[in-house]
Structure 1
């Protein structure tokens, strides 16, 4: 009877879900070479090629796709068995910045839930400043937020390009101030946008403030205004109007992780989340 190495199965699932040996190694806190070795041993054990590798991508083979469901079930049963032996259920209070989550929030949450179903995760979505203050007060265990001008700590995760977005049919009248939609202060992207406009001598007027990133995106889609947004969170169908309107370039928006967790399960969940965010950010930015 064949037996499977649980760490090799973990490596396979990580690579399959993150679509990258680099991201899988980050999530598992190991090296790419170690991940590759575990995958080879698993494939040798099963007598099947599970992954197809090219210089630019990793994808499941037909046998890998068939095995993925069983592999996830095996890991879930393994994690549940360990959880049943623990004295207290693990819990992670996590804050995710509105400008960081964007349309990828379902992907991030699904990855968390799939990684450790027995881990209770309390997720708070909000402004980066509010979440950092909550982290400093000890109300949440970790926060993934945009880098704030007055704080240079935290683990760097991604840097997303920022541009000026509007609806395709939006028109700006040169004789009038630029109509802006933005999150309420304090927002580092809003602050950078206003600073850049003032430095370029471009008059502006905020016509939509607050409402979260979904609200700002709705204002853009409705044709109310232009918004400075990270490309990854711009609403579907919005176009970059920076060059057409002669608007100033904007610095990238950096995402950072602040964490104060000691239990291995919460640390592992955060590693998976960080690797997932890096992966989706890279793919979206490459496709832009």
Structure 2
């Protein structure tokens, strides 16, 4: 009697649990529920006759047998993808635009991991302002755009909502008799516009002390002690501090990250789901 084959969806769920260290994040990547992920893993463990994942209230880790099976699981997934590619021909291409205020320091490692997971999907990444990326998306120059909330649009799926604060170098002091020096991105940056609106509404005089060509440049200006910047905590190097309360600056609202996509199925959709889950994980910390 031939043994029952492995369920490829269950194998993929196991790989995602291993990569994300979380059932919730694996469910996000597969666009399903945590209960469905748990059931897939349970059936895979029953089929293999061993426990693959050790669960505790604080974390998820692979068992010794889970670690041993992971390499085989990745190989099985790769063979599956190669078989599909052999029939479909050329590599699939996915062009993604990511807002400068969304693409954090973890992006290069994340893209490298995604390329390793699916070498038959060619991903092109474009970084820019949310407004510019959405215009490119509407012109069908991008397959997907991951951006901040853009005024006047109600489409897109919210991935997460991220905290922003007023950050400066440790020990930086503001001269009370001078406008608040602010480091920003160039227009048309939505975060720049929001920060200005919040300061104006609070009656706080401010001036642009540094206008950078990207978030890393703004971070460098903050680190150098030029002034303050409205940034998400994950963008900052160790040592930068939130000075909002100390300076009496108005709080900044949590800003959503949204994905706009016309990819409904297949490898591109799976890759976007994994990318969305990774950003959701980064925002949660």
TM-score w.r.t. length of structure 1: 0.92
Off by >6 Å, runs of 4+ in structure 1: none
Given candidates 225, 228, 238, the residue that maps to 1:226 is: 228
Greater Cα shift, 109-118 or 123-132: 109-118
Match in the other structure for 1:52? 54
8 Å CA contact 1:160–1:231 kept in 2: the answer is: no
Match in the other structure for 2:208? 206
The 5-angstrom pairing of residues 38-77 of structure 1 reads 38-77=40-79
Unaligned runs of 5+ residues in structure 1 are none
Match in the other structure for 2:198? 196
Pair 1:91 & 2:87 matched: no
Q: CA deviation at 1:263?
A: 4.6
Match in the other structure for 1:128? 130
Q: CA deviation at 1:104?
A: 1.9
The 5-angstrom pairing of residues 231-242 of structure 1 reads 231-242=233-244
Q: CA deviation at 1:160?
A: 0.6
Unaligned runs of 5+ residues in structure 2 are none
The 1-side partners of 2:85 and 2:190 are apart by: 40
SS in 2 for 1:102: coil
Greater Cα shift, 65-74 or 183-192: 65-74
8 Å CA contact 1:160–1:281 kept in 2: the answer is: yes
The 2-side partners of 1:278 and 1:224 are apart by: 31
CA displacement 1:188-229 (0-9 Å, x = unmatched) = 211121111111111111111122011111111111110000
Match in the other structure for 1:271? 273
Given candidates 160, 169, 173, the residue that maps to 1:171 is: 173
SS in 2 for 1:108: helix
The 2-side partners of 1:114 and 1:281 are apart by: 23
The 5-angstrom pairing of residues 150-189 of structure 1 reads 150-189=152-191
Greater Cα shift, 251-260 or 99-108: 99-108
TM-score w.r.t. length of structure 2: 0.93
Note the aligned Cα RMSD (angstroms).
Answer: 1.8
Greater Cα shift, 252-261 or 37-46: 37-46
The 1-side partners of 2:233 and 2:49 are apart by: 43
Greater Cα shift, 109-118 or 199-208: 109-118
Match in the other structure for 2:23? 21
Q: CA deviation at 1:140?
A: 0.8
Match in the other structure for 2:83? 81
CA displacement 1:60-109 (0-9 Å, x = unmatched) = 22332333233222211211111111144311111111110111212431
Match in the other structure for 1:32? 34
